[in-house]
Chain A
Amino acid sequence: MSDIDKAPMPEKGIDQTLLGARITKQINIQIANQLNTGILVVDAQLTIIVWNRFLQVHTGKKSENVLEQSIFSVFPELPVRWLSRKLNSVLQLNTPSFCSWEQRHHLFNLPHTRPITTDSDFMAQNCTFLPIVTDTNDSYICILIEDVTDVCHYQTQLKKALAELAKINRIDGLTQIYNRRHWQKSLEQEYAKARRHDKKLSLIMLDLDHFKLFNDNYGHQCGDMVLIEVSALISTLLRVEDIFGRYGGEEFAIILPETDLSGAIELAQRICGRVSALALTYKEQNVKVTASLGVAQLGEQEQSYEALISQADAALYQAKAQGRNKVFSNQCSSTLAVG
């Protein structure tokens, strides 16, 4: 109950009491009409009996076409079945009911008046349905319609920003593939999955040969271009479930779920061949790039995902030691030539 209901009424005489009641009534009406909230009162038959200025202004409808009319004929946009049930619960249970913009953007098609661009032409609304019982024991429902366009707008912006941040958090800015942190987290998960379900898991570690020379001979912009082009090329050679990340400066890593060693080697050889065949130019000069790749499959002995990285890393070292532009695996007897 608002304090307005309890406004002091002088008990000096009937005239004074009536005067007090009249003033209180006037105050209530003026407040209702100046509120920046829509007020709509319907009776048990869902006929509109009261509405305030906020709604008059925002709907552009005339009182004579609204009062004494069914709420559904005045506002044909309302979901009949849903709202009937909602209002019925208010009448029967004598409890308030609510409808938030987060579940339903708006109930009433009211234009919003915000000087901002939003996703919707309509005012986002929080609606409250309040039971009202009068002295005569008649039941009414007061519908309060709050304009929450701002809240909705900023919340949507915030969600977008958070999604963008979450993406930035996973992605390497230069190459647009996964960064080391996200890649490593993925490997941790894939390792756990492979162990739990007894599935195969392989790993390719890849390092660009003599990468420092690109930077030294042509400048860092050339190095960056090589990293971008090689990442883009490798991305096209992978399956959707493969997880490709930038491990360090010029070192990349690929997680291959449900893939055995021969499958991983086959892919590594294809990557090795395609990288060396890449025709890159920087400032009208041809730039030749090759990669060394180490491959490992998760075996019985590895106790952690880090151990798998070590295996692939050791193989990568061997590929480098044996002359670069090669694929190597410690789990395979022979050195693997470029395919």
Chain B
Amino acid sequence: MSEFHLTEDQQDCLQELINIAMGQASDQLARYLDSFVYLKVPSIESVDAKELMRTLSEQKNAIAVVSQGFFGHEGIRGEALLVYQEGDSDRIADLLGYEPDDLSKDEQVIDISSILTTTFLNVFAQQIDNQMSYNAPKLLPNVKDNLFEHLQQMPFTWDIALKVNINYQVTDYSFNCNMILLIPEVAITNIKHVLNRILAEF
């Protein structure tokens, strides 16, 4: 167990914060999309670097990965990866109410990813008294070969990754994707401070 590993209490606390953030984010999304958004309780795993490499290299059928960097105060920063499996992204245009000829498929995936990432992380940041800024989202080219490479070429070394499984169902449309938050060690230490602070308040 590395020193960056979360204790059981910290893990619970984080799960709770993410649940709240996800709940509020989906509420905002429902209003924005002007339709009923059904959200399953997101499943959260924290995985170490090696484990994630293994899981992701098994995920051969990922068709699109959108990456977006985020950074806040107190050294909290990282990169969000939204991983879509085959079929997941087919309904995005319907979901967002775009016309078929409105946007390229790439732009749709980037758009919905950015909305999901930023709504979620904004609410999450509020929970920990922080404020996030974001880099422009980027669609990783040739995902099939490059996801592994991309993870190895990160500008920072990250030791823990938070894997948040999101399942959105929007009225008639169901829509799945995986959100993976890659967080460098400094940020983890800071998140742990914040979690301890919240835990102490109880």
Chain A interface (Cβ < 8 Å from any Cβ of B):
1, 81-82, 85, 88-89, 92-98, 100, 102-104, 126, 128
Contact = CB atoms under 8 A, between A and B. Distances in A.
A92 B115 contact: no
Contacts of B28: 92-93
Contact of A104 (B31, B107, B139): B107
Contacts, number: 51
Given A103-B107, A104-B107, A93 B115 contact: yes
A93 B138 contact: no
A25 to B, nearest CB: 22
Interface residues of B, number: 27
B202 interface: no
A325 B138 CA distance: 59
A95 B107 contact: no
Interface of B: 28-29, 31-32, 96-99, 102-104, 106-107, 110-111, 114-115, 118-119, 122, 131, 133-134, 136-139
Residue from the set A88, A93, A126 with the largest chain B CB neighbour count within 10 Å: A93
Nearest to B25: A93
A103 B138 contact: no
Chief secondary structure at chain A's binding surface: mixed
Contact of A100 (B97, B115, B134, B136): B136
Contact of B136 (A1, A89, A94, A98): A98
Contacts of B107: 103-104
B133 to A, nearest CB: 8
Contacts of A82: 102-103
Contacts of B32: 88-89, 92-93
Given A81-B102, A98-B137, A92 B114 contact: no
Q: Which 3 A-B pairs have the closest CB atoms?
A: A95-B118, A98-B136, A103-B107
Given A1-B131, A82-B103, A93 B119 contact: yes
Contacts of A88: 32
B137 A94 contact: no
A93 B118 contact: yes
A101 B119 CA distance: 23
B119 A98 contact: no
Contacts of B110: 98, 100, 103
B179 to A, nearest CB: 15
Contacts of A97: 111, 114-115
B21 to A, nearest CB: 13
Residue from the set B103, B136, B139 with the largest chain A CB neighbour count within 10 Å: B136
